[in-house]
Structure 1
Amino acid sequence: MTEFWCEYAWLPAGVRRGVYVAMSDVFTEVSVLDSPPPGVRLLAGLVVPGFANAHSHAFHRALRGRTHADGGTFWTWRTAMYRLAARLDPDSYLRLARVVYAEMAAAGVTCVGEFHYVHHPAGGGRYADPNAMGEALRQAAADAGIRITLLDTCYLAGGISTPLAPGQERFSDGTVDAWADRISAQRDAAHARVGAAIHSVRAVPRTDLPAVVAAAGDRPLHVHLSEQPAENEACQAAYGASPAELLHEAGALTVRTTAVHATHLSTKDIELLGGAGTGACFCPTTEADLADGIGPARELADAGSPLSLGSDQHAVIDPLLEARALEHGERLRTGERGRFAPSELVAALTNHASLGWPEAGRIAVGAPADLVAIDLASPRTAGSLPAQAVLAATAADVRTVVASGRIVASSGRHELLDDPRPAIEELWL
């Protein structure tokens, strides 16, 4: 059994001072105590539940700091991303994802949703194990000490009524049935669960959407939605409907579904997502980096969409910065402060239910024993009220991270991060 006494802890009822926690892989006791019992380790500062990174493309991390020289657009950035994807194999992907997930762990992430579509060898064909690339990601998460939901992605077309381009061939199984057959061989594990994803309405034709939904069953289902105006325009021209309307028609909007980005939505789109209880995952640093725009987060939350946060292309891996950027985006969009209360930002940071782990994301008996200790005495946080520290702190203030009862990072360091450069630079040599 492991024991901690937390100076301040974010419990389901709010922030409390002096909280004792005991744990195995789950919390076995949570109680308020004025002072630490003898021999119990102190966690100074504010202790919050582990963060859920609800949207990750691990291999995009290798693009960080390499796509800014010529400006460009989302679509030119995507060309560089395809070139990178062509260089991956299971071994190099394991090495890269291992340091990416370790960086997440050091920043407080205890569960990642990996939106995984690099399935097959470059140029097509199959690995001896058709799920070799996904297994590399699962192993990388295990090595980093965090949980993973592998959101195995159906990807069938290069665009609406457009065949796959050469750089996209390795993303595709060819048909929904072939995709469904491949993911049926995957199994949940203690640290890993299997989810599903529709890459986008660009990559899955209208007639195939219902079959993907049926094959996903009761798994979490994620989908890129209306990230770019061009996607909306192409969908409207081809089908006479918005992407959200197309997904609604196919039965894809449910409480198990999370719409990623959800940037360019109409009032009707918002009503469809909120009315279905479909979640919305915002990735503010990526949406800013790619000049995607600022989505209607407050309107979606008010309509009934649970919010989550992701780091997507990993221009930054800092969940606290993503949470603050969500609120700041709302302020810039509306000219109003306090669009999201700190408690709402913490709820988005800890939304493990979006990844199929509804038991996680809270400091309570029986929940997975995930903790993130945030320094309240750093140059950034000194003087902050504990209940408002999420609007002052960054990943640099994360001091201790516990995932499933195990300390995985301390003082901003993870044992796998001694030198992440070889795993990244080998892809560019």
Structure 2
Amino acid sequence: MADRHFHFGQALLPDGWADDVRVTVSEAGWIEHVRAGQPAEAGDERAAIALPGLPNLHSHAFQRGMAGLAEVAGNGPDSFWTWRALMYRFVERMTPDQLLAIAAMAYVEMLETGFTRVGEFHYLHHDRDGASYSDPAELSRAIVEAARETGIALTHLPVFYAQGGFGGQPASEAQRRFLHDVDGFARVVEALGPVVAVLPDAVLGVAPHSLRATTGEQLRAVAALSPGPVHIHIAEQEKEVADCLAWSGARPVDWLLDHASVGPDWCLVHATHVTPEEARRMREAGAVAGFCPITEANLGDGIFPAEQFGGAIGIGSDSNVLIDATEELRLLEYGQRLARRRRNLFAEPGGSTGGALYRTALAGGGQALGAASAIAQGPADFVTLDMDHVSLAGRRGDAILDGLIFAAGSRAIDGVWRRGRQVVRGGRHVERERIAARYRCTLKDLLG
């Protein structure tokens, strides 16, 4: 099979926008050459606009199956903690095949909205009764197969979960499918090496779930097992901060930075409730702050003080209550506007907010997932836009990104390519109908 050639009227390259970009892609799906100012040639695959695909740095794929199920008011105040109780009930009966069906649907929707790599923060490890599978990677295999089936790039982050609260509180029966000791988790990581390797550009990391789910000694031991990035939930809810203070006398981010070797390979997910000093320390450590604005709004978590941070930021879809890369970016900016009562918070003076948001998510997400996303030498992962969409009419350069994020949304995405293979055509995943049919059957079984 010969090299393939793509020609883009405009493309967002690492050093900025360029016109008439001709890209050569190898049989293996690798970008070999990128040349700007080149005319199209016979046989080139053509598109008006191309963008690098976005990294989704934080997903719990199985939670896609409960999207919309937690929108009924309880008898008392609803919060993350009441939502979590429902989530535990939803997950307790899930089989590996059902996990595959739900994850594949989530990954289809990610690709359709412009995500081309997902960081799967995977904490479902054991059978329904809490017993270990004979294969420690049994449920991770379902995640890997969902990625293979849909074509999305995967950074797999098996989660270590050992206790039910700060200070070694015992885990609940509802958490039995998540739990490990360090030796058992080491066997999971070891087993996952060859499983993840079946995907050509997959990355394997680890994720100590949170400070409330691990001891300091366990956290350091688990981080040392990682062949790639390290992700952790941190300071998502005010109650979590208060509980950490009561246990240790320190806030979560401060405690983590004092007791672990946090660096650029770390991603601190939902670092929402931080002080200016904690934000400074995160920035100086080089860690990525990972945010999932749709989920954080859905759960009532709060809004991160982005102006105080100034470091690397990426976005994720977390609970997958609504999967849409452009919506995550829009809500990231709009949350700041609501909190600060000002506009264009992510843009430099005279600069484009859409351009700043997109570049921020590319850089921070790529760092967090151990794989850069760019139209440059590397995997041929890119998104093409429909220039006939009314909200993109007459746009050039970063004005395209402003129109995409703040007006058109993902409806303007026409095609998505992964390793040179088109997985989204006309805005729909090429396997959507089959995967959606299986998903519907799965949900009828789970919710029946």
TM-score range, shorter chain: over 0.9
Q: For residue 401 of structure 1, what is the aligned residue in structure 2?
A: 416
Q: Say which SS state the counterpart of residue 38 (structure 1) adopts.
A: coil
Which of 3, 6, 9 lines up with 1:4 in the alignment? Answer: 6
Bigger shift: residues 135-144 or 243-252: 243-252
Cα deviations by residue, 1:131-186 (Å, 9 ceiling, x for unpaired): 1101110111011011101111110011124211111011011x122212321222
CA distance in 2, matches of 1:56, 1:343: 24
CA distance in 1, matches of 2:329, 2:135: 38
- Deviation of 1:227 after TM superposition, in Å, equals 0.5
- Deviation of 1:192 after TM superposition, in Å, equals 2.2
CA distance in 2, matches of 1:172, 1:186: 17
Q: Say which SS state the counterpart of residue 426 (structure 1) adopts.
A: helix
Q: For residue 322 of structure 1, what is the aligned residue in structure 2?
A: 328
CA distance in 1, matches of 2:224, 2:133: 26
Cα deviations by residue, 1:273-315 (Å, 9 ceiling, x for unpaired): 1110000111011111111111122322x2xx31111011112
After TM superposition, the structure 1 = structure 2 runs for residues 349-368 of structure 1, keeping only pairs within 5 Å, are 349-350=361-362, 351-357=365-371, 360-364=372-376, 366-368=377-379
Aligned residues of 2:22 and 2:38 also touching (Cα < 8 A):
no
Which of 154, 164, 177 lines up with 2:171 in the alignment? Answer: 164
One-letter code of the match for 2:16? G
Cα deviations by residue, 1:56-84 (Å, 9 ceiling, x for unpaired): 00011011121112162111111111011
Q: Say yes or no: does 1:389 pair with 2:400.
A: yes
Which of 328, 343, 347 lines up with 2:359 in the alignment? Answer: 347
- Deviation of 1:215 after TM superposition, in Å, equals 2.3
Aligned residues of 1:53 and 1:109 also touching (Cα < 8 A):
yes
Q: How many pairs were matched up?
A: 420
When residues 421 and 348 of structure 1 are mapped into structure 2, their CA distance, relative to the original with a 3 A threshold, is farther
Q: Taking every aligned residue pair, what percent have the same amino acid on both sides?
A: 36
Q: Say yes or no: does 1:64 pair with 2:70.
A: no
CA distance in 2, matches of 1:416, 1:82: 30
Aligned residues of 2:271 and 2:291 also touching (Cα < 8 A):
yes
TM-score by length of 1: 0.94
- Deviation of 1:252 after TM superposition, in Å, equals 4.1
Q: For residue 284 of structure 2, what is the aligned residue in structure 1?
A: 275
Aligned residues of 1:48 and 1:363 also touching (Cα < 8 A):
yes
When residues 385 and 325 of structure 1 are mapped into structure 2, their CA distance, relative to the original with a 3 A threshold, is farther
Q: Say which SS state the counterpart of residue 263 (structure 2) adopts.
A: coil
Q: For residue 257 of structure 2, what is the aligned residue in structure 1?
A: 248
Higher helix proportion (structure 1 or 2): 2
- Deviation of 1:34 after TM superposition, in Å, equals 5.4
CA distance in 1, matches of 2:113, 2:164: 35
Q: Say which SS state the counterpart of residue 185 (structure 1) adopts.
A: helix
Aligned residues of 1:98 and 1:144 also touching (Cα < 8 A):
yes
After TM superposition, the structure 1 = structure 2 runs for residues 20-169 of structure 1, keeping only pairs within 5 Å, are 20-24=22-26, 25-33=29-37, 35-44=39-48, 46-70=49-73, 72-160=78-166, 161-169=168-176
Bigger shift: residues 255-264 or 201-210: 201-210
Unaligned runs of 5+ in 2: 348-353
- Deviation of 1:7 after TM superposition, in Å, equals 1.6
CA distance in 1, matches of 2:442, 2:40: 42
- Deviation of 1:23 after TM superposition, in Å, equals 0.7
Q: Say which SS state the counterpart of residue 4 (structure 1) adopts.
A: strand
When residues 15 and 424 of structure 1 are mapped into structure 2, their CA distance, relative to the original with a 3 A threshold, is farther
CA distance in 2, matches of 1:421, 1:258: 34
One-letter code of the match for 1:309? I
Aligned residues of 2:104 and 2:150 also touching (Cα < 8 A):
yes
Q: Say which SS state the counterpart of residue 192 (structure 2) adopts.
A: coil
One-letter code of the match for 1:259? L
Q: Say yes or no: does 1:424 pair with 2:443.
A: yes
CA distance in 2, matches of 1:389, 1:77: 37
- Deviation of 1:376 after TM superposition, in Å, equals 3.2
- Deviation of 1:425 after TM superposition, in Å, equals 3.2
Q: For residue 205 of structure 2, what is the aligned residue in structure 1?
A: 195
CA distance in 2, matches of 1:129, 1:309: 32
CA distance in 2, matches of 1:245, 1:285: 26
Aligned residues of 2:264 and 2:367 also touching (Cα < 8 A):
no
Measured on the aligned residues, the alpha-carbon RMSD in Å equals 1.6
CA distance in 2, matches of 1:2, 1:52: 24
Q: Say yes or no: does 1:412 pair with 2:418.
A: no
CA distance in 1, matches of 2:441, 2:395: 39
After TM superposition, the structure 1 = structure 2 runs for residues 244-323 of structure 1, keeping only pairs within 5 Å, are 244-300=253-309, 302=310, 305-323=311-329
After TM superposition, the structure 1 = structure 2 runs for residues 173-252 of structure 1, keeping only pairs within 5 Å, are 173=180, 175-187=181-193, 188-189=196-197, 190-216=200-226, 218-252=227-261
CA distance in 2, matches of 1:52, 1:284: 15
CA distance in 2, matches of 1:383, 1:288: 33
Aligned residues of 1:227 and 1:263 also touching (Cα < 8 A):
yes
CA distance in 1, matches of 2:357, 2:326: 9
CA distance in 2, matches of 1:179, 1:349: 30
